[in-house]
Chains A and B, each alone.
Chain A
Amino acid sequence: MPLDIQIQKNPTGENAAALTVTLIGSLDTVTAPDLERQLAPWLGGPVADIVFDLAQLKFISSAGLRVFSVTRKTLKERGGQASFLNLQPQIREVFDIIKALPGVAIFKDVAELDRYLAARQRSHREAT
């Protein structure tokens, strides 16, 4: 099963600094290097938050999970965060391996994510 990767910079809204990455298909040993390549220029740039929309991700292997944890680590080092949306049940099961880590947030849907990001930005503004 192949993987379709769609990367979109959020133009407006509360999470304008975030990148949305939509993954469709299977994130496994074959497709994970492709995702890593496509994320590299963004991770090397100023992006702080990346939102992975996994509504259409059918399968994930540990090789795919590794790419998520590299992303998490890179973003965490610059105070950012990797968020994951719309996990299907079989994906949720695999995610248990990394869900407890700092720098990882899992949301039920976009609305829940937006509420979280709005609150986080408010607290940032209040802090400065």
Chain B
Amino acid sequence: MKKLSDCRVLLVDDTKVNLDILVEGLKSDHKLSLALNGETALQIAARTPPDLVLLDIVMPGLDGYEVCRRLRQMPETADVPIMFLSSLEEVQNKTRGFEVGANDYLTKPFEMLEVKARVRSLLKAKAYNDAVKEHMAGELRVAREIQMGMVPRDFAAVEAAYRVGFGAVLEPAREVGGDLYGICTADPERLVIFLGDVSGKGIPASMFMVRAITLARLLARQTVEPERILARLNDELAADNPSCMFVTFLCAVFEPRSRRFILANAGHCWPALLPAHGAPRWVGKNLGTALGLEPGLTFQRAELALGEGDAVIFYTDGVTEAFNPQEALYGSERLLADVTAFAGQPAPAITAGILRQVRGFAAGAPQSDDIAILTLKVGGGRADPSGQEPRA
């Protein structure tokens, strides 16, 4: 935790003699910044964020209430403790001070000993708060690394063995998230590909994600049909699931020899097929029920004959439900229109291109949901003997 002597206190008062008294009383205990009016106080706070602000109310220009309100709106000082020091002693003045975001209120004239005691108390609370936040941030950083380690990134071996290309991205909206994807090389004739989206986001979603992805990998090796993988995964997840978390899930089996692509869906948005020739379209019809809600469900399969250069794009609704600053949705129709431009490109370029389109659409609006995109392209791997597939 930060030492109290390292903490910086910003003193704001339009009367110089008041500032002198505070400086005299606090200079040996803390670092100090001084401002003789509200505008200067805001500039200093933005440049050198303080650990505490002692704020006069009646000042020419911006008054203390307004300074307090603006400090709360600035990200650097949104959580900084603020104490009013004012000769206004009416209850209405004090309540208004707390309403605009102050943590404490002391009336003038004051005893220096009381100011020092309150300053110490507020600084200690801030230091504790900062330490807790830092600790949480540290744990979440490690959790994120662990989670990111659970999805495959290097596809070279599987691309060569199955003559396919992969492009994948996983971007949680927070440090950790509930989106997942996986690729299982069950046997030489069968490649299992899956992608899912756990309800909600953040830590609860990430814990369920770990459960789902671990089970899915295991079941993908043991079970031949994708609809059976979903049924078994559903039964496992539905057992002991008191908080009713669920995961929408796509599972596909690709047979490299016949290029048959068998797909089963548990409540997830259907993937897009981007054929080597022709317009992109959705694959599949019946949505199915999400996994984890009720045991004993069955799932349907859809079959597709893929050709050389065809790409199938799995994605989560963080893509289609990305909002722009005007609160409009990116939407599935826009996705289908946008992917047309990526026909003929290798899988990583398709995935990156979609992410770029979504980011461009969001135009800086905060990412509202986790994003996962997994593109499979037939014949698009490094081992492609035609050599027609440049790497992105």
With beta carbons under 8 angstroms apart, the residue of A32, A66, A97 that contacts B267 is: A97
Please determine whether B199 and A65 come into contact, CB atoms closer than 8 angstroms.
Answer: yes
Q: Given the complex, which residues of B lie within 8 Å of A61, measured CB to CB?
A: 200, 321, 369
| A63, A73, A97, A98: the one within 8 Å of B200 (CB) | A63
- The docked-state distance in angstroms from the alpha carbon of A32 to that of B244 is 13
Interface string of B287-311 (1 = CB under 8 A from A): 1011001100000000000000000
Q: B244, A100: Cβ atoms under 8 Å? A: no
Interface magnitude class on chain A: 10 to 19
Q: Give 1 or 0 for each of B193-233: 1 = CB within 8 Å of chain A CB.
A: 00001111110000000000000000000000000000000
Known contacts A70-B243, A70-B244, A102-B294: A62-B197 contact under CB 8 Å: yes
Interface centre among B197, B200, B202 (most CB of A within 10 A): B200
How many interface contacts (CB-CB < 8 Å) are there between A and B? 50
The answer to the question of B375 belonging to the interface, with a C-beta cut-off of 8 Å to chain A, is: no
The main secondary structure of chain B at its interface with chain A is loop
**Contact (Cβ within 8 A) B246 A66:** yes
Contacts A29-B200, A29-B201, A66-B200; is A97 near B290 (CB within 8 Å)?
yes
Complex partner residue of A101 from B200, B201, B293, B327, CB under 8 angstroms: B293
Tell me if B248 and A62 are in contact (CB < 8 A): yes
Contact string against B for A residues 57-76, beta-carbon threshold 8 Å, 1 for contact and 0 otherwise: 00001110110011011000
Q: Known: A70-B244, A101-B289. Contact between A63 and B199, CB under 8 A?
A: yes
Q: With the chains together, A1 CA to B368 CA distance in Å?
A: 13
Asked if A126 lies at the interface with its beta carbon under 8 angstroms from chain B, I say: no
CA–CA, A66 and B245, complex, Å: 6
Q: A69, B293: Cβ atoms under 8 Å?
A: yes
Residues 82-109 of chain A: 1 if any B CB is under 8 Å from the residue's CB, otherwise 0? Answer: 0000000000000011101110000000
User: B197: which A residues are within 8 A, CB to CB?
Assistant: 62
Q: How far is the CA of A63 from the CA of B245 in the complex (A)?
A: 9
* Complexed CA–CA distance, A106 and B245 (Å): 21
CB contacts (< 8 Å) of B199 on chain A: these are 62-63, 65-66
Nearest B residue to A71 via CB reads B244
Is A66's CB under 8 angstroms from B294's CB?
no
Q: Say yes or no: B294 contacts A62, CB within 8 Å.
A: no
Q: Is the CB of B201 within 8 A of A69?
A: no
- A interface vs B, CB < 8 Å? 1, 29, 32, 61-63, 65-66, 69-70, 72-73, 96-98, 100-102
